[in-house]
Structure formats: C-alpha cells, structure tokens
Amino acid sequence: MEYNAVIVGAGPAGIFAALILADHGVDRVLLLEQGKDLNQRNHKSPEERLCGWGGAGAYSDGKLNLSTEIGGVLREFIPEKTLHELLEATDKVYVDHGAPDRIFGESSAQVEDLALRAKIAGLELIPSRIRHMGTENCKDILGRFRESLQGRVETRTETKAKLLLVERDRIRGVLLDSGEEILARCVIAAPGRSGAAWMKEQAEALGLGTKPTSVDIGVRVELPAPVFKEITDTTYESKLIHYSKTFDEKVRTFCMNPYGEVVTEENAGIITVNGHSYAGKRSENTNFAILVSSAFTEPFDDPIAYGRYIARLANLLGGGVLVQRLGDLLAGRRSTTERLGRCLTRPTLPDATPGDLSFVFPYRHLLSIIEMLQALEKIAPGVYSRHTLLYGVEVKFYSYRIDVSLEMETAVKDLFTIGDGAGITRGLLQASASGIVAAKAIARRLKGH
Ligand SMILES: Cc1cc2nc3c(=O)[nH]c(=O)nc-3n(C[C@H](O)[C@H](O)[C@H](O)COP(=O)(O)OP(=O)(O)OC[C@H]3O[C@@H](n4cnc5c(N)ncnc54)[C@H](O)[C@@H]3O)c2cc1C
C-alpha cells in the first residue's frame, strides 16, 4: 500500500501535522515514532524524556509562548500578522484539548512602562504572552491529541525511520530500521532535537541545503528575589535583549525562575547549569540565564563543538558547575567556600564548586555578560551587586537548519521537514504551527484544499 503521507516523529510538530491532515480528510496517513507510546514512557529515563509519543513536549515545562519572536524562526517564512493568527489558532487547539484558559503577561500599563525604562537602559523588552499548561498537565493534553487521532491516523510506536527514500529528486517513502520499506506520496520529517543528528545525516545524503547552527553560551544568574520582583511580577517571563557595548554582541536573558532553584543537567557527558521553579515550593532567590549569541568567523562552522569545549572547561576546573560571586569576578579573584559563606545570596545549588569563571569564558563573552548586568542594574537596582552569583556554564545547542520553502518543503519534491529537528523551531507552539503549515500544503496538493 502507498500512504498519502508518512510523518517521522510524534512530537508536537508531527502530531499537529497529523491532526491537520486528518481534519482535511487526507486518509492513509502514518505517524512513526521511534520511542514508546505515551503511557508507556518512563520519565526517569533521560532518553525516554525526549523520545516517545508526545516527543520532548511530554515532559516540557508546558509554557506555550504566543510571541512571534520566541520559539523559532517562523517569522522568516510567514508575515507577522499571519504568523500571529497562526500561533493563536495553534494555541486554540491546545485549549480545545484541555490547556488552561489563563494567559500570563498580557500587555498592561506596567509592561509598557517597564519596556520604556528598559529602552533607556539599552535593553529591549520582548513582551511574551504565555499560556502555562504546567509540566504535570502536558501528558493529559497530549493524551487527548492521541485520542483525537484514533481511527483517523495510523500510528506505529517503537518504529524508527532509518532512511528517507528518494527517486529522481522526489520522495518515495521511508526505510524502517527493521528493513521494511514504506511507500508514500509525501513525507514529513519531524524528528525533534533528539533526531537532529539523523536529520543532518539525511540532509547530507540527499544534498539538501543546510545553514550552520548557532550556540548560545553564558551563565545562570542568581540573586535575592526582591531585586527582580518588579520585573517578574509585571511580566511572567521577561526576555530582555542587549547589544553589548564593546563587542556589539547579542546578549539576552532566558528562562527566568522567580523564587526558583538552580540545577545541573547532563548533556552528553557534560554537566551544565539550568534553572527551574515549582508551583508549590519557593526559594528566596530568582534565577535566570544570560546568554551570548556568537556569530563565528569563517571557515569555522561547528558551534556545537565550540559550546561543548567551553562547558567542558568548567567541568575540568570544577568537576562540574562553577559558581562565583560577581564581586570576586570583578576583583579578579576566585570565589572560595569562605567567601561564598559571606555572600548575601545563598546559593540554591550547593554542589557548585566555588571558582573563577574568567578561566572558562573567552574575554568577549565575559565582557558581554558584565555589560548586560550593568544594563540590567538600571532597571533592577541590586543586579550588579558583588553578592550576585554567577554559575557556569549554561549552554543552548540548536539543530542544523535545513533549507525549506515557505511551505516547509525541502529541495526534494514532497519531502517536508518541520519542528526543532529541522532547526526551524525551538518551542512547543512554533513546532506545532510548523506542522500545520506543512500539513495544509500537503492537503492542498492531495485534495485541492
Ligand atoms: C526539559 C524541557 C523543557 C521544555 N520546556 C518547554 C516549554 O516550557 N515551552 C516550550 O515552548 N518549549 C519547551 N521545550 C521545548 C519543546 O519541548 C520542543 O520545542 C518541542 O517538543 C519540539 O517539538 P518537535 O515535534 O519538533 O520535536 P520533539 O518534541 O523532540 O519530537 C520529535 C520526536 O521524533 C522522534 N524521532 C526522532 N527521530 C526519529 C526517527 N528516525 N524515527 C522515528 N521517530 C523519530 C523522537 O523520538 C521524538 O519523540 C522544552 C524542552 C525540554 C527538553
């Protein structure tokens, strides 16, 4: 049998593609997922947290970001107004499947005032409207998507696509790990971050155009919650962007956790830092990342290796994550357990090794981070205090970006690629929206609507 469409990957991107194809009456659709089915996934296994029906979305923080500027580069494909409408429509599908009604960060006089003050301080405030599903609700909502596809789309879990089959520049189907060949008129590859290496291999084998990825490197900042209270009370999760004075590099805040905790995470053998906050448990601190986005000079094109190298340096020096008081960094000395003992900010990650981040970061990164902290001081006095803690390294890796058309089609006819694995998105809502774009294009081709 020839399928009309085969979708590789049952994360938010693939699930939304499947829903839209079914809603448009496209039959013979197969959704392939290498991991386990939703209810069989074990949240304790690092691999199963990312792979399985629901993708990385199943154990995500569940924040649906409605801003067109956050969570991907769909803005480069879709005009602003249309993208805004698309994200609203995508969000509505989540609400129809059980996401809570409430939206945080709606525009208000306080947000406008903060944006104005940020501008004077040399910062751009990106207002972000967020629907917070809550980690604990993600699985239930995905379960409703699963039910809604029942009987309309064939699903095979624990089935890995090995190769994309192409004949004369046109997709023919996929070859499974088991050796089975599946023929299809259209294929949508939606393998997510966990399948990004597979996607890159396929793109190279098929001669698809790719753009080098980027890496964002920086620190996790921790300070007493009152210092940032006005900001975190006004905007649920503010994104502030600064172009550093000396290097004119883009520096931004990321993943703000009021009353949260700093945590470590393991990234393919490297220990990096992150942060989170609980709904029902509060620390006395707020933490957020300051990340520097670097534009590398040619011929270098392996930012992932660069990011790993920097993170490994911190591990080499501290056996894991390093922590330093801003005052010590500025005075050119390492932090010690004794000095940390005199710090007014009590670290929520006691395992971090007191050390010296200037041994880890290149000069341009360190200076850009310091200049960002100076700019933040103007809107939140107390940020540039010697008692502010800096943990390193925080690093965000992104997938290689595959060249696609406005419909998310690659240079191979009827082969589409969407979501985080194609390097087009970095968040739940844009990943889901990219699935809608590809599925509508396929429905138009197959059904004429
Ligand atoms: C801890 C964590 C928290 C997050 N929190 C948020 C948040 O609060 N808000 C937000 O917007 N985003 C968040 N994200 C990011 C978000 O989860 C992703 O942006 C989103 O899931 C991307 O969707 P996707 O469908 O492109 O990929 P994924 O969700 O990664 O799904 C891809 C699926 O494809 C499968 N696959 C890969 N290769 C193959 C193959 N060859 N054959 C068959 N199947 C394959 C994988 O097993 C996987 O299940 C978070 C991510 C993590 C890891």
Q: pLDDT tens digit string along 241-289?
A: 999 999 999 999 998 888 989 988 887 788 999 888 766 678 999 999 9
User: Are residues 206 and 226 located together in one domain of the fold?
Assistant: no
User: Are residues 371 and 275 located together in one domain of the fold?
Assistant: yes
- Give the β-pairing of 415-417 and 181-189: parallel
Give dist(CA 369, CA 251) in Å, integer: 7
Residue 238 within any structural domain of the chain: yes
- Measured in Å, residue 109 CA sits from the centre of ligand 1 at 35
Residue 257, strand partner residues: 287
User: Are residues 205 and 71 located together in one domain of the fold?
Assistant: yes
User: Given ligand 1 and candidates 31, 41, 51, which is best to mutate, with the most ligand atoms within 8 Å of its CB?
Assistant: 51
Q: What is the mean predicted confidence (pLDDT) over 219-238?
A: 91
Residue 100 within any structural domain of the chain: yes
Residue 112 within any structural domain of the chain: no
Asked whether 121 and 375 are in contact (CB, 8 A), the reply is yes
Question: What are the strands, taking DSSP E only, across 249-334?
Answer: 250-257, 261-267, 270-276, 285-293, 322-325
- List all residues 6 or more positions away from 169 whose beta carbon is below 8 Å from its beta carbon: 411, 412, 413
User: Are residues 271 and 242 located together in one domain of the fold?
Assistant: yes
Residue 113 within any structural domain of the chain: no
The one-letter code for the residue type at 417 is: T
- pLDDT of 333 above 70: yes
Asked whether 66 and 128 are in contact (CB, 8 A), the reply is yes
User: Are residues 352 and 302 located together in one domain of the fold?
Assistant: yes
- Per-residue DSSP letter, 289: E
Determine the structural domain holding residue 186 and report its residue range.
Answer: 2-107+129-210+401-447
Residue 165 within any structural domain of the chain: yes
Determine if ligand 1 sits within 6 Å of the CB of residue 67.
Answer: no
User: Are residues 302 and 439 located together in one domain of the fold?
Assistant: no
Task: Place 193 in a pLDDT band, splitting at 50, 70 and 90.
Answer: confident
Residue 116 within any structural domain of the chain: no
User: Are residues 86 and 200 located together in one domain of the fold?
Assistant: yes
Asked whether 220 and 291 are in contact (CB, 8 A), the reply is no
Determine if ligand 1 sits within 6 Å of the CB of residue 122.
Answer: no
Taken as a whole, the chain contains a residue count of: 449
Give dist(CA 139, CA 271) in Å, integer: 27
Q: What is the number of structural domains in the chain?
A: 2
Task: Say whether 158 sits in a helix, a strand or coil.
Answer: coil
Phi, psi (degrees; rounded to nearest 5) at 262: -90, 135
User: 109 to each of 69, 106, 114, how far by Cα in Å?
Assistant: 21, 10, 9
- pLDDT of 396 above 90: no
SS3 content of the chain, % helix, strand, coil (to 5): 35, 25, 35
Structure tokens at 180: 């089975």
Residue 411 within any structural domain of the chain: yes
Task: Place 449 in a pLDDT band, splitting at 50, 70 and 90.
Answer: low
More confident: 434 or 308: 434
Taking the CA atoms of residue 337, residue 341, residue 344 and residue 347 in that order, the dihedral angle to the nearest 10 degrees is 50
- pLDDT of 298 above 80: no
- pLDDT of 351 above 80: yes
User: Are residues 20 and 138 located together in one domain of the fold?
Assistant: yes
Residue 402, strand partner residues: 210
Q: Whose CA is nearest to atom 27 of ligand 1?
A: 192
Most distant pair of Cα atoms in the chain: their distance? 71
User: Are residues 99 and 168 located together in one domain of the fold?
Assistant: yes
Determine if ligand 1 sits within 6 Å of the CB of residue 127.
Answer: no
What integer pLDDT is reported at residue 135 of this predicted model?
72
State whether the Cα torsion 62-68-74-79 is positive or negative. Answer: positive
- List all residues 6 or more positions away from 365 whose beta carbon is below 8 Å from its beta carbon: 217, 218, 292, 294
Q: The tokens 């010697």 sit on which residue?
A: 386
What integer pLDDT is reported at residue 280 of this predicted model?
63
Structure tokens at 338: 């004794």
Q: pLDDT tens digit string along 99-128?
A: 999 888 888 899 999 999 999 999 999 878
The one-letter code for the residue type at 447 is: K
User: Are residues 225 and 95 located together in one domain of the fold?
Assistant: no
- List all residues 6 or more positions away from 56 whose beta carbon is below 8 Å from its beta carbon: 11, 49, 50, 192, 193, 194, 420
Q: Whose CA is nearest to atom 9 of ligand 1?
A: 63
Task: Place 189 in a pLDDT band, splitting at 50, 70 and 90.
Answer: very high
Determine if ligand 1 sits within 6 Å of the CB of residue 398.
Answer: no
Burial-class residue 163 by CB neighbours within 10 Å (0-12, 13-18, 19+).
middle
Asked whether 176 and 164 are in contact (CB, 8 A), the reply is no
Determine if ligand 1 sits within 6 Å of the CB of residue 303.
Answer: no
Report the range of poorest mean pLDDT among 26-40, 337-351, 395-409: 395-409
The one-letter code for the residue type at 259 is: Y
Determine if ligand 1 sits within 6 Å of the CB of residue 158.
Answer: no
What integer pLDDT is reported at residue 279 of this predicted model?
60
Task: Place 429 in a pLDDT band, splitting at 50, 70 and 90.
Answer: very high
CATH number at residue 171: 3.50.50.60
Residue 122 within any structural domain of the chain: no
Report the Cα–Cα distance between both ends of the chain, in Å, rounded: 24
What integer pLDDT is reported at residue 248 of this predicted model?
94
